[in-house]
Homo-oligomer: A and B are copies of this chain.
């Protein structure tokens, strides 16, 4: 570490060479390299946690449908995760991110290549492949939301085709408006991890499908009575909720998009805490309200309380204090308690409660951002919600109607009674436990 004076020129010009220093310099890690590794690692960890949410949705839905439709939900969930990945590769990623620049979508049909180090990775400060992976699992999450609402009566193939369109076109376009630096981003719309871009988009697509598909046979009588159709396995639904809660640390935490500085990793830590407390508040609020209103505590409502708390905090998990997070998540719980029966009053048949949890709590979470984030404005938040909602609901409805009028989207009444597992899958979920179709 000692500079060596190698030459003293007669002219009085002193040349000081520092071979030791130069040599040492290569021994030290640069900020750029270290940050690149941390940032990329964040995307990878966040990515596998969000990928795991696909299993969470699968278990939640498998638990909340009747046993005669469980194999179908399992198949749909692994299929939609696979299709989302392929479609996001074929077109979604570029549609969402490539050259949006204040506009309405990016480039069509230029599948993202995954290069070795180089290209613009070194400029962005993270591996492009890690970012791709992280964004892809978000896209898949959106499709997962639709699956539960439409369960027990939709046919497999129209669902898979809708999934391909949602993940390849609809989600990427509205995503480009904000995360692709499109027009909403320019206006100052704020949606940190996707209360609107992911959860409400999934919810709008599900709502359009539910309206066009209609309710399950026997769910609502002509007199307006609601027939409970209890889920087949509460522990699987509980497991699914815990998986989603776990995955949400990746969903919100890694949406910080960087971990290479003290500031970033500290922000991620705050996001973990706020995310957790919003979910906890959702749970406790539902329990309290259920006790007061019904005198019994429906565990499925409680699970949805956790999820609604998570969705609510997703638009802004960084700025709030813990107290604000508890408030934001707690209102998510209130939404569940009142919106689930309200949907039944409108005879909108949402098998797993995805519309209250993802759509309505997603709207709430997006609207309340300005409470804690001074850079957001109430008007722009509302504009974003309305614009994305109108686009997604409208185009989803068009797609559902086209599918309905061509291949049909609904199983026959006979198939519905028999259960989708025997009608379309040929594999019963629990062949030894139930005499399928006999009890419900």
* Complex Cα gap A294–B427 (Å): 13
Which range holds the interface residue count of chain A? 35 or more
Q: B300 and A234: CB pair below 8 A?
A: no
Q: Is there a chain B Cβ closer than 8 Å to A3's Cβ?
A: yes
* Complex Cα gap A81–B283 (Å): 10
Which residues of chain B have C-beta atoms less than 8 A from A14's C-beta?
5, 8, 14
Binary interface profile of A, 404-440, with partner B (CB < 8 Å = 1, else 0)? Answer: 0000000000000000000011111111111000011
Known: A239-B59, A298-B427. A269 touches B81 (CB 8 A): no
* Complex Cα gap A157–B440 (Å): 32
Binary interface profile of A, 187-199, with partner B (CB < 8 Å = 1, else 0)? Answer: 0000000000000
* Complex Cα gap A48–B273 (Å): 11
Which residues of chain B have C-beta atoms less than 8 A from A94's C-beta?
none
Q: Nearest Cβ in chain B — how far from A238, in angstroms?
A: 4
From A49-57, A177-185, A218-226, A340-348, the one touching the partner chain is A49-57
Q: A249 and B48: CB pair below 8 A?
A: yes
Q: A54 and B238: CB pair below 8 A?
A: no
* Complex Cα gap A62–B426 (Å): 20
Across the interface, A284 reaches (CB within 8 A) one of B58, B82, B245, namely B82
Find the residue from A29, A128, A130, A267 having the highest chain B CB count within 10 A: A29
Across the interface, A429 reaches (CB within 8 A) one of B234, B266, B274, B283, namely B234
Q: A280 and B81: CB pair below 8 A?
A: yes
Q: Is there a chain B Cβ closer than 8 Å to A321's Cβ?
A: yes
Q: B82 and A130: CB pair below 8 A?
A: no
Which residues of chain B have C-beta atoms less than 8 A from A432's C-beta?
66-67, 232, 433-434, 439-440
Q: Is there a chain B Cβ closer than 8 Å to A204's Cβ?
A: no
Q: Which of A102-122 contact B (CB under 8 A)?
A: 111-114, 116-117, 121-122
* Complex Cα gap A145–B136 (Å): 30
Q: A235 and B62: CB pair below 8 A?
A: yes
Which residues of chain B have C-beta atoms less than 8 A from A321's C-beta?
113-114
Q: A5 and B15: CB pair below 8 A?
A: yes
Q: B18 and A27: CB pair below 8 A?
A: no
Q: A85 and B51: CB pair below 8 A?
A: no
Which residues of chain B have C-beta atoms less than 8 A from A425's C-beta?
296-299
Q: Which of A274-328 contact B (CB under 8 A)?
A: 274, 276-277, 279-281, 283-284, 287, 291, 294, 296-300, 302-303, 306, 321-323, 326
Q: Is there a chain B Cβ closer than 8 Å to A97's Cβ?
A: no
Known: A78-B241, A234-B70, A246-B51. A86 touches B298 (CB 8 A): no
Please tell me how many copies of the chain the complex holds: 3
Q: B111 and A322: CB pair below 8 A?
A: yes
Across the interface, A261 reaches (CB within 8 A) one of B13, B33, B243, namely B33
Binary interface profile of A, 70-89, with partner B (CB < 8 Å = 1, else 0)? Answer: 11101101110111011001
Across the interface, A156 reaches (CB within 8 A) one of B86, B114, B297, namely B297
Q: B79 and A302: CB pair below 8 A?
A: yes
Find the residue from A55, A129, A326, A425 having the highest chain B CB count within 10 A: A129
Give the nearest-CB partner of A122 in chain B.
B262
Q: Nearest Cβ in chain B — how far from A411, in angstroms?
A: 13
* Complex Cα gap A79–B298 (Å): 12
From A35-43, A354-362, A390-398, the one touching the partner chain is A35-43
Known: A45-B45, A235-B233. A3 touches B16 (CB 8 A): yes
What are 10 inter-chain pairs, A to B, with CB distance below 8 A? A14-B14, A38-B41, A48-B249, A79-B302, A82-B284, A86-B277, A89-B322, A127-B269, A136-B276, A296-B424
Binding site for B on A (CB under 8 A): 1-5, 8, 12-18, 21-22, 24-38, 40-41, 43-45, 47-49, 51-52, 54-55, 58-59, 62-63, 66-67, 70-72, 74-75, 77-79, 81-83, 85-86, 89, 111-114, 116-117, 121-122, 127-130, 132-133, 136, 156-157, 160, 230-239, 241-243, 245-246, 249, 253, 259-263, 265-270, 272-274, 276-277, 279-281, 283-284, 287, 291, 294, 296-300, 302-303, 306, 321-323, 326, 424-434, 439-440
